[in-house]
Amino acid sequence: MSDRDGVSASAREVLRLAQPPTRRFVPGVLVGALGAGSAVALLATSAWLIARAAEQPSIVYVSLAVVGVRAFAISRGAFRYLERLVTHDAALRQLTRLRVQLLERLVPLAPDGMNAIGRGDLLTRFSRDVDELQNLPLRVLQPALVAAVTAVGSVVAVWFISPSAALALACCLVVAFIAGTVLHAGVSARADAAVAPLRGAVGAALVDLLSGLDALIAYGAVDASLDRVARADTALRRAETRAAAGAGLSSAVVSLAAGAATLAGIIIAVPALHSGSLDGPELAVIALVPLAVFEVCSMLPAAVGAWRPVRASARRVASAVPDDVPGELAVDPRDARAVTAASGGELTLTGLTARWPDGGGAIGPLDLAVRPGERLLVRGESGAGKTTLAHVLVRLLDYDGSFRLGDEEARELQQDGIRTLIGLCEQQPWIFDATLRDNLTFARETATDAELSAVLDRVGLSEWAASRSGLDTPLGEHGSRVSGGQAQRIALARSLLADFPVLVLDEPTANVDADRADAVLRDLLTAASTDGRTVILISHGEVPADLVDRTVTLVDGRIPA
């Protein structure tokens, strides 16, 4: 991917998605400019009014200024409120769309395409880093535009009073922007870019600690894991402190420039006052307007500083969701279930090769045909490529060569459609921390309690459920209240509810005691192979010959001749 100004093409696309559309963004800029202009006008009008009132003129001469002070005081607060309301509404709405679009692009990659990124880091990218992107409109573009408009308007207004004072104000604004930006970048540029990755490192360390706490306690490795969290947190705190120091120094430069602009205005205006070309109230305006202008324009160096963490977060989000998502869209939009049902569940692999995205094991080339309704056993030692083959069949992994469902090439069908045809029961099925009913109904939300009880009976869990709380039995976190065999049966019950024409069982007895493995396997295959369903059993152990129709063996990712 090309890179321009330190931002890759994919990161620019993420930034484009984070920016609200013009029709929502422009009103916020306009209201913000009105609020900032009201603040400057309030101070200018107040300065003129106080100085003019000291001359004790008739109330008629200052009545308009009195009304102006009230109007600008009210409008400043009102416009600032509207600015927050409009800009945050636009940014948060766009953030919602951004999250949805990023997750839609992430789904085709999960789970196998995400192996290179840890769970904690991935969580940080799609929480904190995506949240950081809202600062593109809120803290970068909108403040910069408002500050620029306010600065130009203020210089023009002062020009009508004293061109020399206006020129001095403009020079101080330019110097403040350049010096503040350079100083901010020099002190905290590296820290700003490092904050987002360091947050990811803290998130990864915390997730690893909490998710593996049982094993860490068992092996006495808790202290080492805590040290990793502490080191990551220390590095993050140092980076944030350095970033804050840069922002503080930039603010100090802006304050000094504001004082310099005020002093320059006084030096220029006092001689004009003595010569009679300038009166007292105008001198007060020239002296005090820079204070209000610089309060608004201090957002310019801050906006440049805010751009760096936004850019870093955009890079991290973009790297988590690459552009080349395999099989993201279907070439043929026809219903994949109807295509496979018409072919009777026939699968044909010709010259198929596949490799894990993180550079892990590979398989192929493979030539294999699975007949409709067949019970096929795929054997092989650990690392032979059995799980790789299972993930290719359900399109969790991309492939080269040919993989046909009936007469249709799999890569030309939507991945979601294929996953309604081919189901996968993994070695370690995911059990949600919810009831037995909840763990079953996500496979088919419309299933009734009678249908759920019937499928539990088919997989041999009806008596176990009845001895507890039935469908309301809690299963615990990650299935902590069920055994490995029961978890496999629950996963099979979900597959039966989903009514997959083809079912892949990947090491279904890997977590079952050896003396019960044959009985569990026989129950699973008996339940799975009803209704003419095609079953592909993947196992490294022996399987009774009467349970399968055919056996193939994988050796180093291939089927020996």
Helix (H, G, I), strand (E, B) or coil at 379: strand
Residue 81 belongs to a domain: yes
Query: Per-residue confidence at 304, pLDDT binned at 50, 70, 90?
Result: confident
Average pLDDT, stretch 478-494?
Answer: 84
Number of DSSP helices (H) and strands (E) in the chain, helices first: 20, 11
Name, in order, each residue with C-beta under 8 angstroms of 433's C-beta and a sequence gap of 6 or more: 474, 475, 476, 477, 478
236 with 366, same domain: the answer is no
The answer to which of 170-184, 257-271, 355-369, 450-464 has the lowest mean pLDDT is: 355-369
pLDDT at 109: 64
Check: CB of residue 297 under 8 Å from CB of residue 150. yes
540 with 474, same domain: the answer is yes
> What are 348's strand-pairing partners?
369, 404
The answer to which of 83-92, 281-290, 333-342, 503-512 has the lowest mean pLDDT is: 333-342
| Residue that finishes a domain, picked among 320, 352, 373 | 320
Kindly calculate the radius of gyration of the chain based on its CA atoms and give it in whole angstroms. Answer: 34
pLDDT at 181: 86
Report the chain's mean pLDDT, rounded to a whole number: 84
| Residue that finishes a domain, picked among 320, 351, 372 | 320
Average pLDDT, stretch 83-99?
Answer: 92
Q: DSSP labels for 150-204?
A: HHHHHHHHHHTT-HHHHHHHHHHHHHHHHHHHHHHHHHHHHHHHHHHHHHHHHHH
The answer to which of 127-136, 234-243, 494-503 has the lowest mean pLDDT is: 494-503
251 with 340, same domain: the answer is no
> What are 349's strand-pairing partners?
368, 403
Q: State which of 183-187, 229-233, 556-560 shows the largest mean pLDDT.
A: 229-233
Helix (H, G, I), strand (E, B) or coil at 467: coil
Query: Per-residue confidence at 450, pLDDT binned at 50, 70, 90?
Result: very high
pLDDT at 216: 87
Query: Per-residue confidence at 37, pLDDT binned at 50, 70, 90?
Result: very high
299 with 382, same domain: the answer is no
284 with 388, same domain: the answer is no
435 with 380, same domain: the answer is yes
Average pLDDT, stretch 239-248?
Answer: 88
Domain limits for position 540: 336-553
pLDDT at 237: 94
Average pLDDT, stretch 383-396?
Answer: 86
Average pLDDT, stretch 213-239?
Answer: 90
Return the C-alpha torsion angle 325, 326, 328, 332, nearest 10. Answer: 160
The answer to which of 97-106, 427-436, 514-523 has the lowest mean pLDDT is: 514-523
The answer to which of 232-246, 284-298, 323-337, 499-513 has the lowest mean pLDDT is: 323-337
Q: Is residue 223 scored above 70 in pLDDT?
A: yes
What is the enclosing helix (H) or strand (E) of 365? strand 362-370
Distances (CA, A) of 250 to 178, 246, 308, 312, 504: 10, 6, 15, 21, 61
305 with 264, same domain: the answer is yes
Average pLDDT, stretch 238-251?
Answer: 88
Q: Is residue 387 scored above 80 in pLDDT?
A: yes
- Closest CA relative to residue 542, chosen from 377, 426, 425: 377
234 with 382, same domain: the answer is no
Q: Is residue 531 scored above 90 in pLDDT?
A: no
Average pLDDT, stretch 95-99?
Answer: 89
Average pLDDT, stretch 533-550?
Answer: 84
Distances (CA, A) of 168 to 284, 290, 409, 554: 16, 10, 72, 81
Query: Per-residue confidence at 331, pLDDT binned at 50, 70, 90?
Result: very low
DSSP 540: S
Check: CB of residue 71 under 8 Å from CB of residue 30. no
Number of domains in the chain: 2
pLDDT at 344: 58
pLDDT at 108: 64
Residue 543 belongs to a domain: yes
pLDDT at 77: 92
Q: DSSP labels for 137-161?
A: IIIIIHHHHHHHHHHHHHHHHHHTT
Q: How many percent of the chain have pLDDT more than 90? A: 27
How far apart CA 63 and CA 69 sit, in angstroms, is 10
pLDDT at 326: 42
pLDDT digits (tens, 9 = 90+) for 395-419: 888 889 999 888 888 888 777 778 8
Residue 406 belongs to a domain: yes
Residue 386 belongs to a domain: yes
Residue 560 belongs to a domain: no
| Residue that finishes a domain, picked among 320, 352, 367 | 320
- The identity of residue 159, as a single letter, is W
Query: Per-residue confidence at 322, pLDDT binned at 50, 70, 90?
Result: low
Residue 329 belongs to a domain: no
Instruction: For the full predicted model, state whether its pTM sits above 0.75.
Output: no
| Helices 59-106 + 22-53 axis angle, to 10 | 160
Q: CA-based angle 309:311:314, to the nearest 5?
A: 110
The answer to which of 330-334, 370-374, 444-448, 541-545 has the lowest mean pLDDT is: 330-334
347 with 484, same domain: the answer is yes
Residue 558 belongs to a domain: no
Average pLDDT, stretch 28-57?
Answer: 90
112 with 159, same domain: the answer is yes
How far apart CA 335 and CA 149 sit, in angstroms, is 55
pLDDT at 338: 52
pLDDT at 315: 87
pLDDT at 515: 64
Q: How far apart are the first and last CA of the chain?
A: 42
pLDDT at 324: 47
Report the CATH number at residue 119. Answer: 1.20.1560.10
Residue 67 belongs to a domain: yes
306 with 350, same domain: the answer is no
143 with 256, same domain: the answer is yes
Q: Is residue 4 scored above 60 in pLDDT?
A: no
Helix (H, G, I), strand (E, B) or coil at 361: coil
- The better pLDDT of the pair 16, 542 is held by 16
pLDDT at 7: 62
Q: Is residue 329 scored above 60 in pLDDT?
A: no
pLDDT at 41: 92
pLDDT at 113: 60
Average pLDDT, stretch 460-483?
Answer: 87
